Structure 1
Amino acid sequence: MTLLGGALALAALGAAALPAWREARRQRTPDLQVSAPGQFAELSQGRTHYQWSGPEDAPVVVCVHGLTTPSFVWRGLIPHLTAAGAQVLSYDLYGRGFSDAPRGRQTGAFFTRQLSDLLEHEGIDTPVTLVGYSMGGAIVTCFAAAHPDRVLRLALVAPAGMGHDLGPIARFTTGVPILGDWLFHMGYPRQLRAGIEAERALPSSVQGIADLQLAQLDRRGFLRSVLSSLRGVLRAPLQEEHRKIAGARIPVTAVWGREDKVIPLSALATLTQWNRTARQEVIDGAGHGLTYTHTDQLARALDL
């Protein structure tokens, strides 16, 4: 091998190892969990961080967050829900916030099991209202289709599962192994930072949400989990699940942001085709961050 060939081979090895080196420098989940608020449940797939809010013995509302922003996304909405007389359970999906980041494909069944485990851990054996935001909308849809007897009502906030656009890197890496993994770990953090910074000046009911979101990029297992979800629960449309929900006559409310560039408003028509009984509301001027940028309007639209 020539000197140039050897140098190129070393450079290639170094580039290939760069994502692993970056990941090793990120914070370990157990170190983050030490200072976490709320409580932890040892579930079948890993340790899950959760919090209760509101009066005891009140009807239970479970809030499920999205792809990249953990349960703190609900901090602005939860006071509205508790003031309306609900007891709210919020938790971090695996690989986000303070929950563990187990390996494996993060499919709808994977997240359905986490939610089912948590409800069992907390002794909740009566039907609950589920509120799902973005990917959380896809998760609660999967749960309701699998366990219709455990769901009283379904509230979907800019829900995934009917078409979405998470950017060119996510589109490419979803279907390409190895090279896709490398490109995702190298390029997606920059794309996510740019999206967060673009919204930093927007009004928010969650104090410091941009910095809280950016901090996720410093936790080990986050990027792997996001990519796994893109290849899992977000991979295919949920037409069959929505039709099952309609057949089970579970009341559904869906709320959309008119200016949402991630989950386009055209998904409203798709949901109408799949479930003609769903009540749908559109918030003018709202983008994908409507849970924290238009919290008051969202609370009124949900009417829980």
Structure 2
Amino acid sequence: MDSSLFRWPSPGPQTAVAVTVTATAVATATLLLLARSALRPRWGRALPSPLKTTIPRLPSDEVERLVYQPDAFPGARDVDTPYGSIRVYEFGPEDGEKVLLVHGISTPCITLALIAHGLVKRGCRVMLFDLFGRGFSDGVGDLPHDERLYTTQILLVLASSPLAWTGNDAFRLIGYSLGGGIAVHFAAAFPHLVSSLVLLAPAGLINAADFGAVSLFIFKSGFVPERILAYLTRIRLQQPIAASRKAKEISPSAAAADIAATEATSDGETQKTDGSSIPFEQHVLMYVRWMALHHTGFIPAFMSSIRWAPLTDQHESWKLLARRKPGSTMVLLAQNDEIIDVKGYEREGLPLVGGKENVVWKVLPGTHDFVMTHSERILKEMDELWN
């Protein structure tokens, strides 16, 4: 018998090259996967807030120097939930009209302090809370920070009150920036609860190009390992905000950081809730920098919000606002907003919500932080809406 019939043919030069290339590709892909796994931080389910990590170790005089202190508002409570603890404040006359306020992407509820106190002076019962991963609320590390998570958080906050915040026309809802995008989804899901909806420079229809195409790709594609992106984001949010407006041209994380920065910047001054006057940019930048260093849930929450929160392309949810009772919705934009294209919002958003016959739509002086620099003007508009 011819033994050559049982021989495996010897590989030729082309076959050897193909095998080598394939083996190299497999080895490289394996190495990349291992490196990616090693560079992916293992976020916990609940990421503890500074109330559990940093504040207990600080001397009382250092706590008193914090920009945002645990007793910033009356009626503070920490609500334990399956997602972690939520810091909630509720104060004002118990029989007053109830108003819930939802803040933005990078700063806690103290951003809405002037409006909240102004409403209480008008006899309202107000409730504020820190979104997951901000202020004194724990972070959520294993779920996307999208409208579903934040809608659930609002329901948990409402359920924590000793007073009834449910039923038909139970409360008025105010949402600022990201909080506006969240408020749109909540009001669309539970229209019977919300007697009046006020959107202050709301997210939802922001032009994605304002984030920067490279920035959005890097945040959403997963191309950059999570640990590296988290490090870059933390550094970015600790740098002077004034510098960040130029840095977006050279830093892939800068444009996204600018979205956060505009909530916390102003060229003028404002009043702290304790009455002292300091430059507003310094006032809030101090806290953003402190939170980036001391809140384990802040960077993951910020990054996840850029990816999943209702910041852009929310046209379908805005359409649902057209079903609301005429005159029960108000949209207030800032004339010189650094994020929101006021004309673009009016061109795209106003028809979605039913036009000016259905909603109150106004443009006020100020920039994106007008909730602090022009709070009295905003309160005046609410007075007119609510008679």
Alignment partner of 1:269 is 2:347: yes
Indicate the SS of the match to 2:268: coil
Matched, 1:234 2:275: no
- Cα deviation, residue 85, structure 1: 1.7
Q: In structure 2, which of residues 57, 63, 70 is the aligned counterpart of residue 36 of structure 1?
A: 70
1:108-149 per-residue CA deviation (whole Å, 9 max, x = no partner) reads 011000001111221422321110010000111110111111
Q: Which residues of 2 match residues 1-304 of structure 1 at below 5 A?
A: 30-32=52-54, 36-37=70-71, 38-103=76-141, 104-122=143-161, 123-126=164-167, 127-164=170-207, 165-166=210-211, 170-177=215-222, 179=224, 181-182=226-227, 184-194=229-239, 196-197=241-242, 199=265, 201-206=267-272, 208-218=283-293, 219-234=295-310, 236-249=312-325, 251-265=328-342, 266-275=344-353, 276=355, 277-284=358-365, 286-303=366-383, 304=386
1:81-102 deviations in Å (ceiling 9; x for gaps):
1122211100000000000101
Change (3 A) 1:30 1:178: farther
Q: Is the radius of gyration larger for structure 1 or structure 2?
A: 2
For residues 44-103 of structure 1, what are the alpha-carbon distances to aligned partners after superposition, in whole Å with 9 as ceiling and x for unaligned?
322100111321121110000000010110112112111222111000000000001012
Q: Mark the runs of 5 or more structure 2 residues left unpaired by the alignment.
A: 1-30, 43-47, 57-68, 244-264, 274-282
TM-score normalised by length of structure 1: 0.84
Most deviating of 90-99 and 71-80: 71-80
Deviating more after overlay: 53-62 vs 176-185: 176-185
Q: Secondary structure at the match of 1:159?
A: coil
Structure 1 segments unaligned to the other structure (5+ residues): 1-8, 21-25
Q: CA RMSD, aligned part only?
A: 2.8
Distance 1:235 1:138 in 2: 6
Show the counterpart of 2:258.
none
Go from structure 1 to structure 2 and tell me whether the alpha carbon gap of 1:47 and 1:169 turns closer, same or farther (over 3 Å shift).
Answer: farther
CA apart distance, 1:172 = 3.0
Helix, strand or coil for the counterpart of 1:173?
helix
Q: Quick one: which amino acid aligns to residue 112 of structure 1?
A: T
**Amino acid aligned to 1:90:** L
* Aligned equivalents of 2:311, 2:117: Cα separation in 1: 33
Deviation at 1:210, TM superposition (A): 2.9
Question: In 1, distance between residues paired with 2:203 and 2:194?
Answer: 19
Q: Which moves more between the two structures, 92-101 or 189-198?
A: 189-198
State, as a whole percentage, how many aligned pairs show the same letter. Answer: 23
Query: How far apart, in 2, do the equivalents of 1:235 and 1:281 lie?
Result: 20
For 1:293 and 1:94, locate their aligned partners in 2 and report how far apart those are by CA, in whole Å. Answer: 25
For normalisation by structure 2, the TM-score amounts to 0.67
Aligned with 1:204: secondary structure?
strand
Distance in 2 separating the partners of 1:30 and 1:212: 17
Is the CA contact (8 Å cut-off) linking 1:189 and 1:217 kept in structure 2? yes
Contact 2:266 2:369 in 1 (8 A): no
